[in-house]
Amino acid sequence: MAFDFDFDLLKELTEERGVPGYEDRVRDLVREELETSTDDVRTDAMGNVVGTIEGDADYSVAVAAHMDEIGFMVKHVTDDGFLKIDALGGWDARVLRAQRVTVHGEEDVTGVFGSVPPHTLDEEPDGEEEVGDRVVDLGRDAEEVKELVSVGDLVTMDQTTVQMGDSVTGKALDDRVCLFAMLEAAREIENPDATIHFCATVQEEVGLRGATALGVDVDPDLAIALDVTIASDIPGVSADKHVTTLGDGAAIKLKDSSVITTPKVHKRLRSVAEDEEIDHQIEVLPSGGTDTAGFQNTNGAKPVGAISIPTRYLHTVTETANGDDIRATIDLLTAFLESEDGEHDYSL
């Protein structure tokens, strides 16, 4: 299957490195893209990027997708040259065993999260694993490691993004696949009535911090956030844990643990999807937060909505999204924004 979107840009975005608070490399890519598709691009003190298309109506919409990926910071270099790390974002320590990483020190250095071979285990490990129990091995002696790495250096997972059947798999689809969808919509929108602020946010994975700041600074009349959500259509997940299904289209969010979206907004998103014959599904997410909440009441009450891309294996290096769902998300966001003219009443 050939994807109906710019896979090369998606690959570049997802393979780039940018943990919370240090999104610089991703920010450079985003600025470059927005400078060709919007009227004005600016960056704030936190590192959020906002590209604005000026509309004709006295009405503004903010669209938000976050740039940061979960990663780590070096907190200690042992006498033997191993790195102890602190998490930046939510990790399941079990998925870190035997993974390759890049340590961003004096130069970028390859390392691995080691795993004790089963041949040397006297008994099965018991108890929950913690991120703090994992160490990074750089394959160098301690003296060289201490010359290359310092406390505070960053660590990111090392993975490529590839097509897998009808899907895309790699690291940092959370949330670069939605960042990509936002950038594609910015390319495709022409002469909107509303002023549209395309917001690439920072530090979402550690508390929606960038979006909360933009809720004040941008102060839109309406906000729509884009993020991945759980695709629960995999073995080992029972039917009562259902959230979304890969391949069933863009997910229109009703709630997560950080927000209940504005009913009139999610109903209009559904109406647009139906009118434009865009595949879509409804998302009720029991836990997890999104930038939607950062805009809802930060600077007074705001109507908010959210579109999600169903994704398997979240917060691992093999996150997987369906190509048609990605296209549906781009189409739904574009159609919704092009039909925003300030005349829709979202008050309750």
177: which residues sit within 8 A by CB, 6+ positions away? 10, 14, 168, 228, 309, 311, 321, 326
Mean pLDDT computed over every residue of the chain: 95
Residue 306: pLDDT above 80?
yes
- List pLDDT tens digits, range 153-212: 999 999 999 999 999 999 999 999 999 999 999 999 989 999 999 999 999 999 999 999
Nearest to 203 by CA among 287, 285, 294: 294
Residue 227, classed as helix, strand or coil, is strand
Question: In Å, how far are 6, 188, 199, 295 from 279, measured between CA atoms?
Answer: 20, 19, 25, 27
Note the pTM of the prediction, 2 decimals.
0.94
Q: How far apart are CA 335 and CA 337, in angstroms?
A: 6
So which residues are the catalytic ones?
A: 204
Nearest to 307 by CA among 60, 68, 3, 63: 63
Nearest to 245 by CA among 333, 184, 163, 167: 167
DSSP line for 32-85? HHHHHHSSEEEE-TT--EEEEE--SSS-EEEEEEE----EEEEEEE-TTSPEEE
User: pLDDT-based confidence at 114, cuts 50/70/90?
Assistant: confident
- List pLDDT tens digits, range 52-87: 999 999 999 999 999 999 999 999 999 999 999 999
